[in-house]
């Protein structure tokens, strides 16, 4: 299986991590909810796969384009 990095589209804080390692996800499933400019912004799976690694924690500040989740697709 090929590994796929999932990155944020915006800078902000990780508000909620909705998945855990080993979990199967489908395309467009919400993995993480970011908080930026008082808005909730979902980070979604680009395709179906299994969560291999979560690289952030709730409350952590992340930059635009930062990889937050790694999937096996």
What's the predicted TM-score (pTM) here?
0.93
CA–chain centroid gap for 60, Å, is: 13
| Strand 39-44 relative to strand 30-36, pairing | antiparallel
pLDDT at 62: 97
User: For 36-65, what is the mean pLDDT?
Assistant: 97
pLDDT of residue 2: 85
Given pLDDT bands bounded at 50, 70 and 90, which one contains residue 73?
confident
Residue 51 has a pLDDT of: 98
């Amino acid at each position: 299986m090929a590994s796929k990095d999932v990155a944020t589209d915006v800078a902000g804080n990780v508000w909620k991590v909705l998945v855990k390692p080993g979990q199967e996800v489908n395309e467009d499933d919400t993995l993480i909810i970011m908080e930026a400019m008082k808005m909730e912004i979902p980070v979604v799976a680009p395709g179906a796969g299994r969560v291999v690694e979560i690289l952030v924690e709730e409350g952590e500040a992340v930059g635009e384009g930062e990889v937050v989740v790694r999937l096996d697709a």
